[in-house]
């Protein structure tokens, strides 16, 4: 149960490392009108909406993956197999994933999420693709500052987390499992039983990409999806504005690491 893909490591960790709403999260409310439990977690079952519920206790439905009308062609028109190989040239090294992360698996997963890399004009579509690949490459990188071809050419190197820990969220919906908060809803969304077969994330490359894309496309707790931010769909609330959260990379702050990663993918 501890085995999980590094593509999902940051995403799953963010979903389980801190409470999401209520007094435990500075008064934040859950997205889409769903309940905030007495313990500060978002959901729409009796566990969340019943005794001790802090806000929106009538529930509003489980956060769902947005399905905007695509305005562009397939993601494969933005990144060819040869460009994928060039940008991720070390992912197949013997010391890395050795062939796990394939171009075909990425394209198949991307095609299953309506709107990913196909929403907006060409600049917006390319920006979303670059941001996704930059983030997931960073979470799976095997590079170092003096690595051949630079540190950002070593994305998609690792498959599993090197320093595994057990992350457990109390929930009757998603029984205690490594990063169960996301394995449950992600598995439901992509029609794969990840609670009983969590190793699929690290053994099936298409499922690995699908889970990463699910997190990218799906609003969670008190934060919008990366997809909505990138395409300009998300509008900061009054609470977001007062807290300094606005659209843009790194909450609109300039950060050299983000720009360095993004520059590698702006070709």
Active site residues: 139
CA atoms within 13 Å, Cβ hemisphere of 249 = 17
Residue 57, CA distances (Å) to 38, 98, 163, 171, 177 in order: 11, 48, 38, 17, 26
Crossing angle for the helix pair 9-16 and 180-190, to the nearest 10 degrees: 120
* Closest to 30 measured CA to CA, from 66, 71, 58: 58
CA angle 228, 239, 123 (to 5 degrees): 25
Q: Cβ distance 216 to 116 under 8 Å?
A: yes
Crossing angle for the helix pair 9-16 and 122-139, to the nearest 10 degrees: 80
Q: Is 39 helix (H, G, I), strand (E, B) or coil?
A: coil
Q: Cβ distance 36 to 29 under 8 Å?
A: yes
């Amino acid at each position: 149960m501890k085995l999980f893909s590094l593509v999902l490591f940051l995403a799953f960790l963010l979903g389980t490392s801190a409470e999401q709403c209520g007094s435990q999260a500075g008064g934040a409310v859950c997205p889409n009108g769903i309940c905030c439990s007495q313990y500060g977690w978002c959901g729409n079952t009796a566990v969340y909406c019943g005794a001790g519920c802090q806000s929106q206790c009538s529930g509003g439905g489980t956060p769902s993956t947005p399905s905007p009308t695509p305005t562009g062609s397939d993601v494969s028109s933005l990144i060819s197999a040869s460009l994928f190989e060039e940008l991720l040239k070390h992912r197949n090294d013997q010391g890395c994933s050795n062939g796990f992360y394939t171009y075909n698996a990425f394209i198949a997963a991307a095609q299953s999420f309506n709107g990913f890399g196909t929403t907006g004009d060409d600049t917006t579509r390319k920006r979303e693709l670059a941001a996704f690949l930059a983030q997931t490459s960073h979470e799976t990188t095997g590079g170092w500052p003096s690595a051949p071809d630079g540190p950002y050419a070593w994305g998609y190197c690792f498959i599993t987390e090197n320093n595994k820990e057990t992350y457990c969220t109390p929930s009757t919906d998603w029984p205690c499992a490594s990063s169960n908060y996301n394995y449950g809803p992600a598995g439901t969304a992509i029609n794969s039983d990840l609670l009983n077969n969590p190793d699929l994330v690290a053994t099936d490359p298409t499922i690995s990409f699908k889970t990463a894309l699910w997190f990218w496309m799906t609003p969670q707790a008190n934060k919008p999806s990366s997809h909505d931010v990138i395409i300009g769909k998300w509008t900061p609330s009054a609470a977001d504005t007062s807290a300094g959260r606005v659209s843009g990379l790194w909450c609109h702050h300039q950060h050299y690491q983000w720009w360095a990663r993004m520059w590698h993918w702006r070709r």
